[in-house]
Amino acid sequence: MDVYLARQPIFNRTKQIYGYELLFRDGLSNAFPQIDGDTASSNVLSNSFFCMGMEQITGGTKAFINFTQELLVQKIPLLFPKESLIVEILEDVIPTDAVILACREMATAGYLLAMDDFIYDPALEPLIAMAGIIKIDIRLAPGEQAKAILDKLSGYTVKFLAEKVETYQEYETYMEMGFDYFQGYFFSKPQVLRAHDISTSKISLLQIMAEVNRDDMQILAVDTLISRDVSVSLKLLRYINSPYYSRGQEISSIRQAVLRLGEAGIRRFIPILFMSVFAEDKPNELVRVSVIRARFCELLWRNTNTQLRGPELFTLGLFSLIDAIMDESMDTLLDKLPFTKNISNALLSGTGEMSEYLNLVRAYETGNWVTVSRHADIIGMDKDRIPVLYWDAVVWADTLVAST
């Protein structure tokens, strides 16, 4: 059975990844409210731990997984390693004696319990006493309501997670309020819109980018430009000699590395290097998500019948978060960066056929399965293939980001 599984990042106070909440469905036909939560949770657990591998899915961090009342009573979390799993108690779970007993057994065994979409109710006190994390949806309990919950639970040894944090201002506000963890895509928005100069070292990378994005890219010209930049040269050699790419014989010259990668490899590597350099003061997850989007767009292209070009879709996905990386508005940035008209239109106005691919990718990230289904129909994508392509993109991105 195919499992539609996306992951949403959870950060600590220093914007490092603490874990991922896994968002799932057992197929796009079940992307509607009547889905059986018990069945869906069981499927994602078995597929995550036994088929895909939890280490691969979360990169060695924690996996936040929702558990229904029935799954808690059945003590299903005890079947899985406590080192990887955080047991999310859904907001509609009723704290019956059976639920409390099961949760106590899990907590005693060393499992970390998290209470999802928390709104205070005295009946929840037994679960609060066992919980390690309280998740507060700041859309449901914003500002002072969230602060009141923190004050109310100040006597408990529990950490607080702000959910659906969408801007840096919200991140800073709730961090000052006392929250420990932050879930959402605040990191994917510009922190401060400002114009700033690009350093000399980055200008050379922009020149390489411009050459790589030409329809008639010249390998020898790329070789020359890379050879002039020591930093880019070193990173290229490290990448080409990494376990992912190595063919046994170490490559020591830029010419050899460029020829080994070939046109397609260079068109991928240079933009990703660009992202890692320009996002050096940003959360690592920002580059990782950008690379996942790039690969996902490319893989969708390979599996659809379209006149679009794969390298363009790769670049579109990769630079879809460039405004957050550069902390500038998209329209200002597009005046500086060497993109085709198709890419610029998709990034700036969301128009054109290319934008449908990016819309599908964005919807998948957030677990918006209804929207995923709609855009899959528009681009003619076989829905059963989408989960496989997404996890191919995740694994590929994790390997590549580690090399750059």
If asked whether residues 209 and 181 sit together in one domain, one would say: no
Q: What is the pLDDT of residues 303-323, one digit of tens each?
A: 999 999 888 898 899 889 988
Domain-ending residue, one of 133, 154, 188: 188
Please report how many Cα atoms fall inside a 13 Å half-sphere around the Cα of residue 328, on the Cβ side.
18
Q: Which range marks the domain in which residue 168 is found?
A: 4-188
Q: What pLDDT is attached to residue 346? A: 94
Q: Which residues of 224-234 are buried (b: 16+ CB within 10 A; e: fewer)?
A: ebbeebeebee
For the chain, give the mean pLDDT: 85
Overall average pLDDT of the 202-221 stretch: 76
If asked whether residues 177 and 280 sit together in one domain, one would say: no
- Specify the long-range contacts of residues 15-18, CB closer than 8 Å, at least 24 apart: 15/187, 15/283, 16/283, 16/284, 17/59, 17/61, 17/283, 17/284, 17/285, 18/61, 18/62, 18/181
Overall average pLDDT of the 385-402 stretch: 84
Q: Are 121 and 92 in contact (CB under 8 A)?
A: no
Q: What is the pLDDT of residues 131-187, one digit of tens each?
A: 999 999 999 999 999 999 999 999 999 999 999 999 889 999 999 999 999 998 888
The verdict on residue 193 lying in a domain is no
Determine the Cα–Cα distance for residues 62 and 82; give it in Å rounded to an integer.
9
The verdict on residue 77 lying in a domain is yes
If asked whether residues 150 and 210 sit together in one domain, one would say: no
**Residue % of the chain over a pLDDT of 70:** 85
If asked whether residues 251 and 377 sit together in one domain, one would say: yes
The verdict on residue 86 lying in a domain is yes
Higher local confidence (pLDDT), 213 or 395: 395
If asked whether residues 344 and 292 sit together in one domain, one would say: yes
Q: What pLDDT is attached to residue 149? A: 97
* Distance of alpha carbon 174 from the chain centroid: 21
Q: What pLDDT is attached to residue 60? A: 81
pTM (2 d.p.): 0.80
Question: Which is nearest to 347 in space by CA: 310, 381, 313?
Answer: 313
If asked whether residues 123 and 53 sit together in one domain, one would say: yes
The verdict on residue 195 lying in a domain is no
Higher local confidence (pLDDT), 356 or 233: 356
Token pair belonging to 240: 């080409």
Q: What pLDDT is attached to residue 129? A: 96
Q: What pLDDT is attached to residue 225? A: 85
Question: Which is nearest to 232 in space by CA: 262, 259, 207, 205?
Answer: 205
Q: Is the pLDDT of residue 196 over 60?
A: no
Handedness of CA 275, 276, 280, 284 (dihedral sign): positive
If asked whether residues 89 and 210 sit together in one domain, one would say: no
Q: What pLDDT is attached to residue 30? A: 47
Overall average pLDDT of the 393-398 stretch: 84
Least confident interval from 250-259, 270-279, 289-298, 300-309: 270-279
Determine the Cα–Cα distance for residues 373 and 396; give it in Å rounded to an integer.
24
DSSP assignment of 197-265: PPPHHHHHHHHHHHHHTSTT--HHHHHHHHHT-HHHHHHHHHHHTSTTT--SSPP-SHHHHHHHHHHHH
The verdict on residue 322 lying in a domain is yes
CATH of the domain at 388: 1.10.3210.10
Domain-ending residue, one of 188, 216, 240: 188
Token pair belonging to 200: 């000399």
Higher local confidence (pLDDT), 27 or 31: 27
CATH of the domain at 61: 3.20.20.450
Token pair belonging to 58: 């979360």
Q: What pLDDT is attached to residue 1? A: 46
Q: Is the pLDDT of residue 252 over 90?
A: no
Nearest 5°: phi and psi at 65?
-130, 130
As for how many domains the chain has, the answer is 2
The verdict on residue 247 lying in a domain is yes
If asked whether residues 228 and 368 sit together in one domain, one would say: yes
Higher local confidence (pLDDT), 343 or 194: 343
Q: Are 119 and 141 in contact (CB under 8 A)?
A: yes
If asked whether residues 237 and 312 sit together in one domain, one would say: yes
The verdict on residue 51 lying in a domain is yes
Domain-ending residue, one of 138, 168, 188: 188
If asked whether residues 180 and 217 sit together in one domain, one would say: no
The verdict on residue 341 lying in a domain is yes
If asked whether residues 157 and 208 sit together in one domain, one would say: no
Q: What pLDDT is attached to residue 32? A: 39
Question: Which is nearest to 330 in space by CA: 311, 309, 358, 357?
Answer: 358
If asked whether residues 161 and 304 sit together in one domain, one would say: no
